[in-house]
Amino acid sequence: MSKSKSSESVKVVVRCRPMNEKERTAKFERVVSVDVKLGQIIVRNPKEASANELRKVFTFDSVYDWNSKQIDLYDETFRPLVESVLLGFNGTIFAYGQTGTGKTYTMEGVRNDPERRGVIPNSFEHIFTHISRSQNQQYLIRASYLEIYQEEIRDLLSKDQSRRLELRERPDTGVYVKDLSSFVTKSVREIEHVMNVGNQNRSVGATNMNEHSSRSHAIFVITVECSELGVDGENHIRVGKLNLVDLAGSERQTKTGAQGERLKEATKINLSLSALGNVISALVDGRSSHIPYRDSKLTRLLQDSLGGNARTVMVANIGPASYNVEETLTTLRYANRAKNIKNKPRINEDPKDALLREFQEEIARLKEQLQKRSGKKKKRSQRRRAGEGNDGEDLEGETEDDEDGDDKGDYWLEQHEKLERERKAIMEDHSLVAEEKVRLLKEKEKKMEDLKREKEAGEMLAAKVKAMESKLLVGGKNIVDHTNEQQRMLEQKRQEIAEQKRREREMQQQMENQDEETLELKETYSSLQQEVDIKTKKLKKLFAKMQAVKSEIEDLQAEHICNRQDLEQTQNELTRDLKLKHLIIENFIPLEEKNKIVNRAYFDEENEHWKTKPITRIEDDHQMMSRPLSAVGYQRPLAHHAHMAMMTKPWRYKAENILMLNMDMPTRTTKEYQEPVIAPKVAAALEDALRDEDDIQVDASGFYSSLGPTPPASASGKPSKCPLILIRLIKHLSHLLSFSPSIA
């Protein structure tokens, strides 16, 4: 599957920026000198300068001073790397250094200024030029852009900037960012647009952009997929991934005085960077079998680039002024260590997740569909021609005929005209009944609609194929272009020069080394005095060297102590935190509960978090535990203990959970009886009438004869004086009253 190559070291170059305006006006001393020829950086320590001429010398693959041009850096250092990405290797470029030393300048440079463009825009140009010159190859270029800030990954190209992404690992493709968006780009302009969008998003949400960018890592990823016909007659796909990393500022984050959240924040900011340092140390050490890639998101993501299968270039950026000397030395030491990392680059051939393969398959599928459609049409039109005028029903059938494009337009036009003609014929045909005419017309109209729809669908399919094909880039179009050819020659020459420079530098470095070693062997002394002189000189030289090494050791020790103090401080803080939590657990959480939680806790390797398992009846059974059955005869579940206790203390368990269940009465629809109101006149009359007979003083002796044979006997036997009219009234009333029994 992949061609392996022997291992190669991480390439480390150092770039020193010019003095800036502020440093010049403040008249800061320049302590860094750069020997471009020898590839050396020489740092004078201003504090020790008076004592003796102690200089620190660091040698790298190549070094660049303040006059270096972006394009020179690109041609000499980055172009070979991008070239190998185009061949299917993975490649990574890191920019490391203190804030303000030119990391972003090196990676991105100044936009809209071709002279001062950084690696990223230059690589765009390089990649697309390469494609335009290629022959018989298909390319697919994708770009992604992400940022790591406080150990959180943000997709700089996604619409939702508040979302945080997770890292995932697959055995076949390694570590990747889940749900990271990537955009297929077809030209330099498009990929530049992607970068600009990402840069804008980077500043969104950051209150202080300078601070934010100095504390976060930005990674621009370009994936180059290339498909080419191999000697075996099959298409082979190579995938190269280029990571362009602008790291956070390497300066020590001040933790002094920070506590709690602020301290955690400060620790987190540089976590990725210190983890990177640890990974480098572990890789270089050679003794440690464990490389702590998993300590941070950055090192996990770039695992391939550090001791893996990628090609890696690290640019260490430094400043020249005296007040930065400590940081400059730290950066140089860091870079010096990184030189010794060994990678084993190899070409990624036919990986499973190549998007290009998916694209090719999809295009083939769509094309087949399109062909089926046109095949159908052709058959139909052929049939029509043969049967002249005998039209009507559709014929469902597929032919494998090829049909060329210009035939298509004719077909649609022909069909349309034919339908139109038929419509007219129907309109003019007077022999048809009106109803029949309408029906036929409708039928024709429907057919025209169908025709239109079919045509549209065909066009859509063709457009889709075209859009997909346009994403696959092929070269070879302007290969004969004269200016292009010249440009290429120029580039080649520049590359040759760069290569020559590199070789020269290497030779010089070697010579320097050999000089020292062979000095002794070559020399023959003519006199004792001369021998003394020469040996004294040599002794002096070696002594100076020893002094340098000694001071280097001292420096390293000092730095080590500093680091150690830092770690100890962090450790103390963490221990204190832990103790507090223990205290709370011991004193406030019942042992039983604690054990339960401990049993449920597990470490999620994927997300690197402690989590608690859901409560399950049986271990590894992911069903939630079901509610236990009620105790027979009771309303709710009952523990055995409670069940027993109920026997002895029934009142203790009685009042629990009892509902009052009185009946709900319906609202009343009847009323109490109310006495009717009697008019006052009637009442008075009644009153009168019902008075005791004794009280009535009426003489009615003269009326008897007319009323009846016998006069009403009065209780007293006295002749009644009541007039006849009154008696009648009374009789009438008593008759009335006999019907309303409730009057009482």
Residue sitting closest to Mg ion (CB): 104
Total binding residues toward ligand ADP, as defined by CB under 6 A: 13
Total binding residues toward Mg ion, as defined by CB under 5 A: 3
Give Cα 206 to chain centroid, integer Å: 17
434-471 vs 355-387: helix crossing angle, rounded to 10: 150
Identify what 351 binds: ligand ADP, Mg ion, none; CB under 5 to 8 Å per kind. Answer: none
Residue 123 Cβ, how far from Mg ion at the closest point, in Å? 18
Residues 201-220 that bind ligand ADP (CB under 6 A): 214
101 annotated as a binding-site residue: yes
Identify what 132 binds: ligand ADP, Mg ion, none; CB under 5 to 8 Å per kind. Answer: none
Listed in order, strand segments (DSSP E) in 511-615 are 601-604, 609-612
Residue 111 Cβ, how far from ligand ADP at the closest point, in Å? 11
Each residue 383-412 as x (binds ligand ADP by CB under 6 A) or -, in order, gives ------------------------------
Residue with tokens 């006059």: 67
* Among positions 39, 88, 91, 102, the unique one binding ligand ADP when judged by CB under 6 A: 102
Stretch of 98-106, 297-305, 535-543, 706-714 lying at the interface with ligand ADP (CB under 6 A): 98-106
Residue with tokens 């000095």: 519
Residue 87 Cβ, how far from ligand ADP at the closest point, in Å? 30
Q: Which residues are CB-contacts of 736 (< 8 A; sequence separation ≥ 6)?
A: none
Each residue 676-695 as x (binds ligand ADP by CB under 6 A) or -, in order, gives --------------------
- Can residue 317 be called a binding residue for Mg ion (CB under 5 A)? no
- Can residue 253 be called a binding residue for Mg ion (CB under 5 A)? no
Q: Please, is 718 exposed, middle or buried when counting C-beta atoms within 10 Å of its C-beta (0-12, 13-18, 19+)?
A: exposed
Cα separation, 287 vs 265, whole angstroms:
32
Number of helices and strands in the chain (H, E) = 22, 19
- Can residue 101 be called a binding residue for ligand ADP (CB under 6 A)? yes
- Can residue 296 be called a binding residue for ligand ADP (CB under 6 A)? no
Closest alpha carbon to 134 in 488, 467, 465, 468: 488
97 annotated as a binding-site residue: yes
Q: How distant, in Å, are the alpha carbons of 12, 283, 326, 418, 550 from that of 307? A: 14, 7, 28, 72, 30
For residue 15, the SS3 value is: strand
Nearer to ligand ADP, 102 or 475 (CB): 102
Residues 305-334 that bind ligand ADP (CB under 6 A): 317
Which helix (H) or strand (E) segment holds residue 96: the answer is: strand 90-97
Residue 214 Cβ, how far from Mg ion at the closest point, in Å? 6
Identify what 458 binds: Mg ion, ligand ADP, none; CB under 5 to 8 Å per kind. Answer: none
Q: Please, is 682 exposed, middle or buried when counting C-beta atoms within 10 Å of its C-beta (0-12, 13-18, 19+)?
A: exposed
Cα separation, 268 vs 260, whole angstroms:
12
102 annotated as a binding-site residue: yes
- Can residue 98 be called a binding residue for Mg ion (CB under 5 A)? no
Identify what 18 binds: ligand ADP, Mg ion, none; CB under 5 to 8 Å per kind. Answer: ligand ADP
- Can residue 104 be called a binding residue for Mg ion (CB under 5 A)? yes
Residue 213 Cβ, how far from Mg ion at the closest point, in Å? 5
Identify what 324 binds: ligand ADP, Mg ion, none; CB under 5 to 8 Å per kind. Answer: none
Tokens found for residue 276:
């990177």
Residue 101 Cβ, how far from Mg ion at the closest point, in Å? 9
Stretch of 6-14, 50-58, 96-104, 179-187 lying at the interface with ligand ADP (CB under 6 A): 96-104
Question: What 8-state DSSP symbol labels residue 571?
Answer: H
Listed in order, strand segments (DSSP E) in 116-232 are 137-149, 152-155, 167-170, 174-177, 183-185, 217-229
Residue 288 Cβ, how far from ligand ADP at the closest point, in Å? 30
Cα separation, 171 vs 446, whole angstroms:
57
207 annotated as a binding-site residue: no
- Can residue 134 be called a binding residue for ligand ADP (CB under 6 A)? no
Stretch of 99-107, 236-244, 379-387, 613-621 lying at the interface with ligand ADP (CB under 6 A): 99-107
* Among positions 40, 62, 77, 104, the unique one binding ligand ADP when judged by CB under 6 A: 104
Q: How distant, in Å, are the alpha carbons of 51, 98, 319 from that of 46? A: 10, 19, 14
Strand bridging mode 8-9 / 90-97? unpaired
Give Cα 579 to chain centroid, integer Å: 36
Residue 506 Cβ, how far from ligand ADP at the closest point, in Å? 24
Strand bridging mode 90-97 / 40-44? unpaired
Each residue 4-43 as x (binds ligand ADP by CB under 6 A) or -, in order, gives -------------xx-------------------------
* Among positions 56, 103, 117, 238, the unique one binding ligand ADP when judged by CB under 6 A: 103
Can you say whether the dihedral through the CA atoms of 587, 590, 593, 595 is positive or negative? Answer: positive
- Can residue 100 be called a binding residue for ligand ADP (CB under 6 A)? yes
Q: Which residues are CB-contacts of 285 (< 8 A; sequence separation ≥ 6)?
A: none
Q: Which residues line the annotated binding site for ATP?
A: 97-104
- The footprint of ligand ADP (CB under 6 A) covers 17-18, 97, 99-105, 214, 249, 317
- The footprint of Mg ion (CB under 5 A) covers 103-104, 213
Q: Which residues line the annotated binding site?
A: 97-104
